[in-house]
Structure formats: structure tokens, C-alpha cells
Structure 1
């Protein structure tokens, strides 16, 4: 059988962003307008997460989520929650490489959009911008892999009911 362009293309690895979109965004100012008159610097807490879900064969949705909470003493100045997602096509890629693409390259692609959308929402709400730092998704991925490996290597506890 000769190699036709159709046969060779079907075996070529494919990694492509199909679409990037803002999946969810909310902003709350529970103590406005009184807290807006205060001059002190707020404490800012940022929580991040990454999720990967298969959509259909060869397509995956990667969601990078962030929650930013700014507080002045015990009162919330603002709370912003956002989720930026991307649909990525991955075909003909070995599983170990696909896992790395989904855990590192995909979030790296989506994160700048999330960062811009959150900064825009915060400034449009009348607050000084919060600049989210760059994230080393490779280090995050490697840490998650190490935690999973440690959990798999942990000795299981044998209880009397499991002996029978």
C-alpha cells in the first residue's frame, strides 16, 4: 500500500487550540460604598486551579479558574471569580505527551486571557488593577504528578474486614 497524503496526514500528531472563551466571571463588592472610602492597602488572596475534561474523541476542554479576594481587615473589598477555557485538539499523540500538553501547554495558552479578563473586571469595578503573576505550569504539573505518585506508593491499611 502506498503512502498517500490522506494516509500520512491521519497519523501526524495534531495539537491545536480550537477556541478560547470566558466560561464564567463574577464580581462582588459586598461592603460598597463605605469600604471604597478607606485608604488602607487591602490584603489580596489568589487561588488557582486547572481542570481538563474530554469533550469528544480528540477534543479536550481545559479550564483555568481563579478566585481573587481582596480584604481590608475582616471585611471583603471585592471577590472576583473567573474561569477561562479553551478547546484543544489532540490527536495521534502518545498518552504521556498528551498528559503533559493538557497539564502544561494548554493552561499556559489559556491563562493570559484569564489574567486580562480578571484585571479588566477589577478596574471596571473601580479598583486599582490586580496584576496576577506568571505561573509555572510545568512546576505545578510536576508537583501534582509527584503527589499522585506518593499517594499511589503509600501503603494501604489492611483492616480485619478486608482479610476475608
Structure 2
């Protein structure tokens, strides 16, 4: 009966604010890049940061860098740091990792996509639309990599 009386913690997650923290757009080889045949190669680099602001209040920053090259020349480099302040409480440590490592970046991603698309278009390049990202899978992959590193460090130490 005592188990029945134990209540699940009251879980809360709310968005306090979503904002652009930093943005940069560079076209280091313009105008010559506009005179070349447009056969771009694009790479996307993405990561997240989590900062504790106060008890149960976190800043999550989604950092995205898009680099597009034509041949050896960089056509453009677009960097966006999209941030959000979230009130999060009632989650276990394991659940918190998933909330700030997957759920929050997933909420921020559409804002990053829009910012990059706008910058690229205003830079006079063909529209760039970032493809959807499976943040759950990326978070799971990150967790597996961390577990592997811990296991390697533990096996490398002598007791």
C-alpha cells in the first residue's frame, strides 16, 4: 500500500524564451564564386550545449554550421547558435539527459532551419533547407559513444 501512495514527481517543461544567440554568414570568395558552375558540396556540423542558469532553469544552445564549397572555394559559411531557456523539473537524471539532449534541440531546430535558409537566400545563393534531424537517434549514438569511452578507460586502468 505504501507503494500506491508514492506519487510520480510532477514533471514540468516549459519554454521561457527562444532566441538567436549568435549568427554569422560569410561569402569569402564572392563575387568570383557566382561566376562558376554551381555544383556545390555542403557539409553540416551540429552540436548542443546545456548551461544551468538556476535551479530547474536551463539554457540549451543548438549550434549549426553549414559550409558549402564549389570546387576548392568556399561559397558560403553559415553559422547559427539558436538558444532557448527552459524550465524543467520532475525528471530523473537519465530523463533530463534526453530532455536537454534531444527534446529541446528538436524544438530549436525549425528556428535554425529558417535562419540558415534566410541567410543563404539573402546571400544570393540557391535556397538551402536543412533536412530533418532525428535528435533521438543522435542522442542515443552520443550515449553509446560515451559508454564506450568509459568502458575503454576502465579496461585500460590497472587495479
Q: TM-score, normalization: structure 1?
A: 0.86
Please provide the CA RMSD for this pair: 1.6
1:101 matched to which residue of 2? 99
User: Where do 5+ consecutive residues of structure 2 fail to align?
Assistant: 1-8
Query: Any idea what SS the aligned residue of 1:129 has?
Result: coil
Q: Does 1:19 align with 2:17?
A: yes
Distance 2:37 2:149 in 1: 47
Q: 2:77 aligns with which of 79, 85, 88?
A: 79
2:38 matched to which residue of 1? 40
Distance 2:122 2:38 in 1: 20
Provide, for residues 61-96 of structure 1, a one-character-per-residue CA deviation record: whole Å limited to 9, x for no partner.
Answer: 111111111111111111111110111111122222
Query: Any idea what SS the aligned residue of 1:83 has?
Result: strand
2:126 matched to which residue of 1? 128
Distance 1:53 1:36 in 2: 40
Query: Any idea what SS the aligned residue of 1:104 has?
Result: helix
Distance 2:114 2:93 in 1: 32
Runs (4+) of structure 1 exceeding 2 A deviation are none
How far does residue 20 in structure 1 lie from its aligned partner after superposition? 0.5
Provide, for residues 46-69 of structure 1, a one-character-per-residue CA deviation record: whole Å limited to 9, x for no partner.
Answer: 111111111111111111111111
Q: TM-score, normalization: structure 2?
A: 0.89
1:156 matched to which residue of 2? 156
Distance 1:149 1:39 in 2: 45
Query: Any idea what SS the aligned residue of 1:80 has?
Result: strand
User: Where do 5+ consecutive residues of structure 1 fail to align?
Assistant: 1-10
